[in-house]
Structure 1
Amino acid sequence: MPATARKSAPSAKRTPSPERPERDATVDEIYERIYVAILEHRLQPGIKLGEEKMAEIFGVSRARIREVLARLAHEQIVELYPQRGAYVAKPTPEQARDVFEARRLIEPAVLKRLIDTVTADKINRLRQHAELEADARRRNDKRAVIRLSGEFHTLVAELAGNSSLARSMRELCMLTCLTIFLYDAPTAQSCRHDEHSLIIDALAKKDRARAEKLMLDHLDHIEGSLQLEDNGGEADLVEIFRA
């Protein structure tokens, strides 16, 4: 058969662009990417989260991005302004004090509930997390230190077994992270390397009074390290969310 009559071979499957995902990211996945970017101080307070740019980055519709931003706004992590768009929350000094006041009320209740239900497995999970923090400090991985320090408190709340408390702690820890970034509190100093381990030791002994005192002292150290300082509002979103 003449070569011209042959059926052409199917074209090779096109390789997905590294700039776009192979499938649409879900709302939960996009939310988590933003959450971690804030925890790791890659997204600064006041940064604009443009719908069009975010949709391009994650390869989804603007409607899906709006859904994510609405969820973040409900949790006070993002601020929405008519005709202007969405911005990473920028807590004022008064709002920062409110966050720490709320944490001082909630975290002792979390500790009480955890002590009432503590098991060897729960203590082991906390110690494993503390070891991850210690390893990140040894490697001088500042982003990991920041993220893991915040996640310790949410893990304590999750292990306590109250979903409402856990949700509140997740939101408060995120706002604390934004406050630390905004007011230039070095996490390596505000979250002292041994404080989480001492809290775990008190929990293991079911020493509620000591655990609560250590936690409140820990929060005092973080809040006491804050310094009022404003930051700008421009960032390269593509670089921040690059896989």
Structure 2
Amino acid sequence: MPAPVRKTPANPAERENTVDEIYERVYVAILEHRLQPGTKLGEERMADIFGVSRARIREVLARLAHEQIVELFPQRGAYVAKPSTEQARDVFEARRLIEPAVVRRLVDTHTPEKIQRLRQHVELEADARRRGDKRAVIRLSGEFHTLLAELAGNSALARSMRELCMLTCLTILLYDAPTAQSCRDDEHQMIIDAVARRDRARAEEIMLDHLDHIEGSLQLDQGNGEADLEAIFRG
């Protein structure tokens, strides 16, 4: 019986959309802790799941590897990154340098519309907590910090924050930080309030305390690296 023919995008724009879509689905699966650090991302299996060529999957994995979300090993393949304790400390050191700059810029450039977007996001977090939707809580908590950087209006900062938030998510999963302590929703609200008041010093102080609380909640706990990719992406 001949092997099934996978649909190949007809033009570069379609191809890019396909790569973007697969990238985003993998990204969100990691962010929601459905994919654990150390999970193998087999090219052939993922190509079959998404109905694309292995070359397309390699593009996605290369992009994720460039952002340090995935690690590529010769002869072994691609794995969801598994940050060491030293790498975790590096991530938080970088965030302590970058995020005060983000809130300073946002204090100087915020508008009522930006503050409203942040408050709406925090309400989504609160709703997810009320519903007990842990995956949504994890994803939205990380996206709050990325949203701050996007609204601050600096694309380089926004890209950096997206990468750092993902690495933080991997670290939290790997070292088993309880969600309720690792990213407290009341502190998100306090950051917004300080920004709305244009209180730069207070916004920076709360952000640094917030990062301290996240890092301080980490506990050493290795993931097993096993996952059912088909159940994750087809479920």
Normalised by the size of structure 1, how large is the TM-score? 0.90
Residue 147 of structure 2, aligned match among 146, 155, 163: 155
Q: Does 1:207 align with 2:199?
A: yes
Q: Decide whether the 8 Å contact of 1:145 with 1:188 is kept in 2.
A: no
Equivalent position SS for 2:33: coil
- Does 1:103 find its partner at 2:87? no
Measure, in 1, the Cα distance between the counterparts of 2:152 and 2:185. Answer: 23
More helix per residue: 1 or 2?
A: 2
Unpaired segments of 5 or more residues in structure 1? Answer: 1-19
Structure 1 stretches of 4+ with a deviation exceeding 3 A read none
TM-superposed deviation, 1:78: 0.2
Using the TM superposition, give the Cα deviation of residue 112 of structure 1 relative to its aligned residue in structure 2, in angstroms: 1.0
TM alignment of 1:130-209, pairs within 5 A: 130-209=122-201
Q: Hey, what's the Cα distance between the residues in 1 that align with 2:139 and 2:225?
A: 22
Task: Quote the offset at 1:95 in angstroms.
Answer: 0.1
Asked if 1:237 corresponds to 2:232, the answer is no
Q: 1:14-163 to 2 correspondence within 5 Å?
A: 26-163=18-155
Percentage of identical aligned residues? 83
Please give the alpha-carbon distance, in whole angstroms, between the structure 2 residues aligned to 1:137 and 1:191. Answer: 12
Matches of 1:192 and 1:110, distance apart in 2: 19
Q: Give the superposed CA RMSD.
A: 1.5
Mapped to 1, the partners of 2:183 and 2:90 lie a distance apart of 19
Q: Counterpart of 2:68 in structure 1: which amino acid?
A: Q
Cα distance in 2, alignment partners of residues 234 and 190 from structure 1: 24
* Preserved contact between residue 122 and residue 185 of structure 2 (Cα < 8 Å): no
**Residue 172 of structure 1 aligns to which amino acid in structure 2?**
L
Larger Rg: 1
CA distance in 2, matches of 1:242, 1:218: 36
